[in-house]
Structure 1
Amino acid sequence: MPDFHKKAVFFDADGTICDIEKGTPASAVEAITKLVNNGHEAWLCTGRSRSFVPDYLEKIPFTGMITACGCTIEKNGERLFNKEMTPQQAWHSVEVLRRYGMVPVMEGADFMYYDKDEYHTGVNWYADLITKALGNKWRPIKGFEQDLHINKVSSKILPGSSPEKVCEELADYYEFIGHVGEGLAGDTIEMIPKGFSKAVGIAAVCRIFDIAHEDTIVFGDSNNDISMFEFAQTKIAMGNAAPGIKKLADYVTSDIFHYGIRNGLEHLELI
């Protein structure tokens, strides 16, 4: 390819390259592998914490991973950066969430913490799938109250809870992304440390590894992808994406299980 120009492609996880029940379609694995074999970079850029990256994503030959909405960065398996809340901030967050009737799921790079009598399939239909996927990376909050090592929080909104009061009390700590009635996340408030986002993670990777902005491409589907869609040069929305993401996109590909990744990369002439 005489006119080859290396691109860095950043892929969201849930709803973009994987599904919590069905895993990753073979076509997406093949397409990303081909992308890398063609000399480009492929980065996972997910709201999931590093501890919640499942085996089937580990097997994709990503150049690196940006996890927990920019809080953790690694390349070629080496962790380069990890922003943690202090244990005091983490425990205070749990107390505030419980006070206002919400369920805390505390997400860290090495462990996720939640109590199974509080976070279960009655609250979230895929709670058991998360526990199964985590294996020994699950820890209860009980017993670790003063030893929570977390990057971010996902909290389920229950009937009668007061998410507005939670956001007000924890506004000094976090930025908030609402996933109300939206796809996989259901009725969830995602709480990310102030100053962090997927876009911040991508910008850091570009700065560290000298990637030009015009060479950045993102694939995504949900509200926590908005920041990276606003940042990147080229934006590809999945066919199953939220309306706000489609509005920001340069191209809307097919959905995750109808060759969306492959079709998007072919459209960009990268594979």
Structure 2
Amino acid sequence: MNKKAVFFDADGTVCDIEKGVPDSAVRAITQLVRNGHEAWLCTGRSRAFVPGYLEQIPFTGMISACGATIEKNGQRLFNKEMSSEVAELSVKILRRYGLVPVMEGADFMYYDKDEYTLEVNWYRDLITEALGPKWRPIKGNEKSMRINKISAKMKEGCNAEQALKELSAYYDVIRHENNSFVGTTVELIPKGCSKAAGIAAVCRIYNIPWEDTVVFGDSNNDLSMFEYAATKVAMGNASQKIKELADHITTDMFHYGIKNGLEKLGLIGTGSRF
């Protein structure tokens, strides 16, 4: 079998914000790498929000912030940042139309806790705890934020359409299904960046043939990589759009989804007791 490059989404695919990573996923990805294949994290999270439990998995490299940041062996190969002027303008526009800005960078995430409340997002404190010193308030940093993307949180009565229209010159938009884990979030990604663009860049840099690319994912911010990759595996909990694009549908992550999917593709051995 040719050496494969397997790109894994994070949330809903290999990790859960409350429960972390299932042991079966860690062992399956470790075995994948031992078998001579590459394993890349390909996440919508910004690099600052990649927690230690994901860094302990022997990923070959990481694509974060939906393709805006790429690194391998601790070396940052690419990092697309919005200008500080655009970041400040983005905050003003989102707030004007009733959305809560969560500004995501490779080194820091910025949000104001009195605005980004538990009513807006019940797992805000989990994010803050995971970030540790990488959290900064927007207040006081309005003119110096270094960000790759934005997660805009919709509140009742907000005018998201107008906000997105006014920001359309700077960002591409990812919308999530209403019943998904991030259903009230609109992701704003720098123009031209996507998970697919990140994967394509990795393939160019490291001479990986397109036909040897494999992706695992579950949510709508995985759509671009499902449209791009040669082989697509949807998690059992995936959105309908992702399942429609998939070549294979595995179980969810807590029911051996990564292990089962890699076994189905013949990338790790079958019958292991994980």
Please, what TM-score do these two structures have when normalized by structure 2?
A: 0.97
Q: 1-side partners of 2:83 and 2:206: how far apart?
A: 29
Match of 2:157 in 1: 160
Q: CA deviation at 1:244?
A: 0.4
Is 1:243 aligned with 2:240? yes
Q: Between Structure 1 and Structure 2, how many residues are aligned?
A: 268
Q: Tell whether the 8 Å contact from 2:177 to 2:239 is kept in structure 1 after alignment.
A: no
Partner SS state of residue 257, structure 1: helix
Q: 1-side partners of 2:199 and 2:124: how far apart?
A: 29
Q: 2-side partners of 1:18 and 1:49: how far apart?
A: 15
Match of 2:190 among 178, 186, 193: 193
Partner SS state of residue 181, structure 2: helix
Partner SS state of residue 6, structure 2: strand
Deviations 1:208-234 (A, max 9, x none): 000000000000000000000000000
Partner SS state of residue 181, structure 1: coil
Q: 2-side partners of 1:261 and 1:118: how far apart?
A: 37
The one-letter code matched in structure 2 to 1:260 is G
Identity of paired residues, percent?
69
1:21-36 pair list within 5 angstroms: 21-36=18-33
The one-letter code matched in structure 2 to 1:264 is G
Q: Tell whether the 8 Å contact from 1:44 to 1:62 is kept in structure 2 after alignment.
A: yes
Match of 1:170 in 2: 167
Q: CA deviation at 1:5?
A: 1.6
Q: Tell whether the 8 Å contact from 2:110 to 2:138 is kept in structure 1 after alignment.
A: yes
Q: Tell whether the 8 Å contact from 2:63 to 2:70 is kept in structure 1 after alignment.
A: yes
Match of 1:262 in 2: 259
Is 1:90 aligned with 2:51? no
Q: Tell whether the 8 Å contact from 1:87 to 1:148 is kept in structure 2 after alignment.
A: yes
Q: 1-side partners of 2:243 and 2:139: how far apart?
A: 41
The one-letter code matched in structure 1 to 2:240 is P
Q: CA deviation at 1:180?
A: 4.3
Q: 1-side partners of 2:180 and 2:220: how far apart?
A: 10
Partner SS state of residue 208, structure 2: coil
Match of 1:66 in 2: 63
Q: 2-side partners of 1:120 and 1:54: how far apart?
A: 21
The one-letter code matched in structure 2 to 1:56 is Y
Q: 1-side partners of 2:210 and 2:254: how far apart?
A: 29
Q: CA deviation at 1:179?
A: 1.8
1:1-271 pair list within 5 angstroms: 4-271=1-268
Q: CA deviation at 1:76?
A: 1.2
Q: Tell whether the 8 Å contact from 1:120 to 1:128 is kept in structure 2 after alignment.
A: no
Q: 1-side partners of 2:106 and 2:31: how far apart?
A: 28
Q: 2-side partners of 1:182 and 1:207: how far apart?
A: 36
Deviations 1:163-205 (A, max 9, x none): 0001110000000111242422131110001111000000000
Q: Tell whether the 8 Å contact from 1:180 to 1:188 is kept in structure 2 after alignment.
A: no
Q: 2-side partners of 1:256 and 1:99: how far apart?
A: 39
The one-letter code matched in structure 2 to 1:36 is V
Partner SS state of residue 235, structure 1: strand
Q: CA deviation at 1:256?
A: 1.1
The one-letter code matched in structure 2 to 1:108 is G
Which runs of no fewer than 5 residues in structure 2 stay unpaired? 269-274
> Which shifted more, 249-258 or 172-181?
172-181
- Deviation >6 Å, runs of 4+: none
